[in-house]
Homo-oligomer: A and B are copies of this chain.
Amino acid sequence: MLSNSSKYALKAVLYLGINSSEEKKVLSKEISDRTNIPKAYLSKILQPLSRHHIVSSVRGPGGGFYLSKENRAVPLIDIIHIIDGDHRLTSCLLSLKECNAEHPCPLHDLVGDTKVRFVKNLEGTTVEDLVADIEAGRSFLPL
């Protein structure tokens, strides 16, 4: 469903959503320590996120990672697409190119709209939505 890497990406972004701001930047080492994501691996994941403006970063002393207002408005699906590409989530259960609603593979109706709805949820939910849930105690920050 999701690769390890995109799970880590989501965790890291959520950590920044809760613990960072333009004024309070966070070191990758801190994210790594608190979330138990291996340090060097995390760095490799943060790079494309930074390049694609999912997270913000400044280097040098006093630098670090943080989420800007714009970053917080990013839909979750973008994070997954950047890390996993856009095929992994949407492809047919049997990885058949020719499978669709009009010409369904045998498993097609077993997933039915469930996967479609899940993807729609990922498109319609932003980072700040999840941060709000965590801050309201409706879910917990994965550490």
Q: Of B94, B107, B142, which contacts A105 at CB under 8 A? A: B142
| Residues A105 and B139 in contact in the complex (CB < 8 Å), given A114-B117, A115-B114, A118-B111 | yes
B104 A7 Cβ-Cβ under 8 A: no
Whole-angstrom distance between the Cβ of A17 and the nearest chain B Cβ: 9
Closest to A8 in B: B94
A106 B14 Cβ-Cβ under 8 A: yes
A7 B105 Cβ-Cβ under 8 A: no
Q: Of B94, B96, B104, B142, which contacts A94 at CB under 8 A? A: B142
In whole angstroms, how far apart are the Cα atoms of A117 and B130 in the complex?
24
CB-defined interface of A105-132 with B at 8 Å, one 1/0 digit per residue? 1111111101101100110010000100
Q: Which residues of B contact A130 (CB under 8 A)?
A: 106-107
Q: Of B7, B76, B118, B142, which contacts A114 at CB under 8 A? A: B118
Q: Which residues of B contact A103 (CB under 8 A)?
A: 140
Q: Is A10 on the interface with B (CB-CB < 8 A)? A: yes
Q: Is A49 on the interface with B (CB-CB < 8 A)? A: no
Q: Of B104, B121, B141, which contacts A139 at CB under 8 A? A: B104
| Residues A93 and B2 in contact in the complex (CB < 8 Å), given A110-B118, A110-B125, A114-B114 | yes
Q: Is A133 on the interface with B (CB-CB < 8 A)? A: yes
A95 B139 Cβ-Cβ under 8 A: no
| Residues A7 and B106 in contact in the complex (CB < 8 Å), given A111-B118, A117-B114 | no
